[in-house]
Structures are given as structure tokens and as C-alpha cells.
Amino acid sequence: MTIIETISEMQHYADHWRQQGKTIGFVPTMGYLHEGHLSLMRLAKTRADVLVVSIYVNPTQFGANEDLDTYPRDLARDQRLLESVECDVLFLPNDAIMYPPEYRTYVTVEELTENLCGTSRPRHFRGVTTIVTKLFHCVKPHVAVFGQKDAQQALIIKRMTADLNMDVEIIIGEIVREADGVAMSSRNVYLSPAEREDARVLSQSLQKAQEAIAQGERSTATLIEMIRTMIAQKPTTTIDYVSIVETKTLHDVAQIEGEVLIALAVFVGKTRLIDNALIRV
Ligand code: PAF
């Protein structure tokens, strides 16, 4: 695996592969990799000749009181995991090259960034769309893979690439869960044993809602109340939001029909976790 730390070298490699007729698959990450990331990388490898993974903890997507400084980092471990999936290039930019002092440009997607995580993290998606655009200009991928766990992010990236005519195909990989149902996340490492136990309620409540839908429940108010009640029973949890939205617009819906997303964000202790379930009836 080649490690590249400069933009010009990354672009040079990308141009070289493109001239050779090779397709580039890309998985952007913030590191502290887990099986969820690795599944996205394996998916990218099925769709491209060369796999590039970036690790960059992007400061512009963190709010002032969020965990930028404490975000988990372990580059040596990440490199071993990347070798295990036969990653070709690890792109490792830093703040100085990504956001030099004179930096002034941001990419924003409207409306889709306002609901769900956009409400409690107002500038988060502006940071995500900006860094993903910049990374795309460095890596020049043919396909890029994002995870369904960040369902709103995935939709926003798809919207952005379509709206800005970016010549890259966006593929969405499924949520990968621990044996007890907890969605894999780099932030799970923050959880104390008691919090880790309580974190199971996110996927359990989504499961319970899906069972109710399978039995005919269609009122989203009833389903949201059911989920909120289950989560609130766990002592370490504080709900940020529980929403049921239309998958294309992310607008709240009153009834389950067609395709909807049940999305939730919950603080478990101080750690904010998200999870979701895609429903088709
Ligand atoms: O999903 C993430 O890990 C980040 O939001 C991303 C896409 C790598 C941008 O920093």
C-alpha cells in the first residue's frame, strides 16, 4: 500500500491510472476503521481496479462543542486493516494542505441538510460536502462508496454530485452491526460498559418499529412514540431526534407508505450515536 500525503502526488497517481484505463474506487473516512468501513472498501473493490482510502478528521464538519479534539485516532492499526483489504493507496492529507489560512470556499446543499442531523449540527453537512468535493478533486474517483448508517449524508452526497455534474458514481453500502445489533461506529469506543449496554436500544427500537409496521401500524406518531418510550427507559440515553421521513426529501411523514426512513440520533452518555432503518411497504 502506498501512502500519499500531498494533493499533487495524489492527483498525479489518479491521472496516471486514468491514462492507463484503470478505474478508481474511493472510500473517504475519518479513520479509526472498523468492519463497517472495511465492508465499504470491499464493495469499492468489486467496482473498480484501484482502491484509494482517505483518512482525514475534517475539522469543518465538527461543531464548536463537538469531539474534534478527542476523535479516536490509531493510524498504525488503520494501516494494518487497510492492508488486510488490499487497499492500494492511503491518502492522508492534513489541515495545512486542506484548509490553508487563505481558504474561503464551501459547498452547500440546500433543504436536505436542514432536517434530522442538520437541526442539531447546523454546519456539519456544509463541512462534509466541502471536504468530499475537495477529496474528489484529489482522488478523481470513478466510484465512491458511502455507508447507509449515515443515510442523510449519503443522500446529500448523491444530490451534490448530481447537481454539480460530478463524474463519479455514488454507491451506498449497508449498515454493518455488532452481534448485538449496535451499528458499527468509530465513536462506539467512547462508551462505558453501561452505556454500551444501553446503546443496544437504538437498533432494538428500530426493530420493534419494523415489527409494528409489519403488523399493520401506519401512524408515524404512534411509531415515534413507541421508539421514544423504549429509548427513554435506558438511564444513560438522551434523545436528540426520532423522525420518520420520506427518503428523497427527508420531509417528515404522517403515515407509513411507499419508502420511508426511520432515523434517530441519541446521546448515550456524552456520545451521540445515529442509526436508521429503511422501510418499504
Ligand atoms: O462519513 C465520514 O466518515 C465523513 O463524514 C466523511 C465522508 C469521511 C467526510 O469527512
Helix (H) or strand (E) holding 249: none
Q: How far is ligand 1, taken at its centre, from the CA of residue 152, in Å?
A: 12
Question: What pLDDT, on the 0 to 100 scale, is given for residue 248?
Answer: 96
Which whole number is the average pLDDT over 186-211?
98
Question: What pLDDT, on the 0 to 100 scale, is given for residue 190?
Answer: 96
Task: Read off the pLDDT of residues 5-20 as tens digits, 9 standing for 90 and up.
Answer: 999 999 999 999 999 9
**Ligand 1: residue whose CA is nearest its atom 3:** 29
Q: Is residue 167 a contact partner of residue 26, using CB atoms and an 8 Å limit?
A: no
Under the banding of pLDDT at 50, 70 and 90, the label for residue 115 is very high
Task: Read off the pLDDT of residues 247-279 as tens digits, 9 standing for 90 and up.
Answer: 999 999 999 999 999 999 999 999 999 999 999
Helix (H) or strand (E) holding 234: none
Q: How far is ligand 1, taken at its centre, from the CA of residue 275, in Å?
A: 16
Question: What pLDDT, on the 0 to 100 scale, is given for residue 21?
Answer: 98
Annotated catalytic sites, by residue?
A: 37
| Ligand 1 in reach of 57 Cβ (< 6 A) | no
Residue ranges of the chain assigned to CATH 3.40.50.620: 2-173
Query: Which amino acid type is present at position 93?
Result: P
At a CB cut-off of 8 Å and minimum separation 6, what does 133 contact? 107, 160, 164, 166
- Mean of pLDDT over the chain: 98
186-280 folds as: Pantoate--beta-alanine Ligase; Chain: A,domain 2 (3.30.1300)
DSSP SS3 for 121: coil
Q: How far is ligand 1, taken at its centre, from the CA of residue 233, in Å?
A: 31
At a CB cut-off of 8 Å and minimum separation 6, what does 122 contact? 63
Parallel, antiparallel, or unpaired: how do β-strands 237-246 and 169-173 relate? Answer: unpaired
Under the banding of pLDDT at 50, 70 and 90, the label for residue 184 is very high
pTM of the full structure: 0.98
| Ligand 1 in reach of 28 Cβ (< 6 A) | yes
Question: What pLDDT, on the 0 to 100 scale, is given for residue 227?
Answer: 98
Percent of the chain at pLDDT exceeding 90: 100
Percent of the chain at pLDDT exceeding 70: 100
| Ligand 1 in reach of 128 Cβ (< 6 A) | yes
**Ligand 1: residue whose CA is nearest its atom 5:** 128
Q: Is 253 exposed, middle or buried (0-12, 13-18, 19+ CB in 10 A)?
A: middle
Residue from 58, 107, 109 to probe ligand 1 pocket by mutation (most atoms less than 8 Å from CB): 58
Q: How far apart are CA 37 and CA 147, in angstroms?
A: 8
2-173 folds as: Rossmann fold (3.40.50)
| Ligand 1 in reach of 29 Cβ (< 6 A) | yes
| Ligand 1 in reach of 60 Cβ (< 6 A) | no
| Ligand 1 in reach of 151 Cβ (< 6 A) | no
Q: How far is ligand 1, taken at its centre, from the CA of residue 216, in Å?
A: 36
Determine the length of the chain.
Answer: 281
The three three-digit cell numbers of residue 182, written as one number: 449496535
